[in-house]
Structure 1
């Protein structure tokens, strides 16, 4: 039963018998698939969920079946975004999901400074029914100037399952990046990330932040730079950029965390110009692997390195070959 008056939301239901032993948040996510599990968890933590008339605030509380549930909360007012005819590079599509290869200079979701001209606006134009899916089916985001693969759900059910898969770390996302400095071996960065205390557009490693884990391995070393393959275990805002900067190996071209370009001694003019004019973080989401939300089949996609990064890598390779005799690694 659903009563919705303006911004007030009241949901009344009963825990099903087959849900015996399930966590409260899991049971409610199954009963109310139109709302994400993270939103339901927030409702529980904030005291908006009653079980048999008692407020419960522990998402891990186990249910027995037959309990009366009442959710009494306030929904944020929906913002109506405009559909816009923006082209999308669709790598794969079926009735449940889309896989998009995102170019640079394209924001995923409207926000401060970017009220339109986003992937969300494009999705509303090309797939009008997606207006019924929260966030137009967007499951995870890429930064404005990060290129590569992202998944979009076309139905509420697909989005619910994909968001849960993301939370359970069942979706694998791999990236390629070019960073400053020489990294000799792969490793893992396990450092919590939160909003920077004074720079509100920045994130930072800080003990009270949310857990963040990035795995990386060396693909190629240059004279003063390294090409990496990275895999996200978590998905915090700017995670790779912040973790690499934390290691003192920021991404080439990163406007927030990168610092000044550092050309090696004796670099030619082409090298200098390429490094100086590379005006975005050198980061590309190159591989995406997930279990299909409807069929359960494991699927995987790859996106080739975009032209600007290819050119950057070629210049770094050429410079390294020209100075091969000077290298001590």
Structure 2
């Protein structure tokens, strides 16, 4: 894990999946999202989106299984000029992966990174009913059996789990990363995190989530992503947010923001799995009446609306 080869492979992965390493794009008026080309301008299933009730359908999907997320191991964190990201999971003996959640097959964790803004009312890439969280974390997964090049050409090549960050009293979820943030102030800085547990950046309850087909949120905006947005946020302290806001971009300046604006659904529908839906209990005699009432209430509300 400490070899230069390992870090090189991690950096190459970040370059291919999220266009880093001195690329000419960014988030200011000269190189921001309005200047990105290709699918970023012409695509019809772009990300992020604003998730609204009228575009959302309740769905009895399986839970998302986070396999190998409880182990402690080494990762390399880097400031790539666009965000702070961490990689190295593919070098672990037991590689973390996800399944379930209406995904077909296994998706192996490649890296995670963050999006934020300088004000509390902006920062997340996705919005819920027009409102933003202060920040959003993305866990990027590659479908089993595919290379990155292959994955970027397929609608289901990647699966990204989005986690919203909300300012609160506990800073435990991001503690392993934020205690090293001073070492990542400038573009190109990197540091080793010796003991990182992927489960730490997930909310306690992961049963409820939004599901839709979308794209990468950075150039080339490949429409290759199955998105899973967890409904419950994790907590970050105000001090941790202030640390994050001091991270500098490729121009040596603090990011005013590093999130992309939302895009129309263009006919897509968002599926939502509420926490109370549990397919393993679907046929339970004690559970069926409450499920019937829930479903009936949903149907009735749609009719009345």
Provide TM-score, normalisation by structure 1. Answer: 0.24
Higher relative contact order by CA 8 Å / sep ≥ 6: 1 or 2?
A: 2
Larger radius of gyration: 1
Provide TM-score, normalisation by structure 2. Answer: 0.25
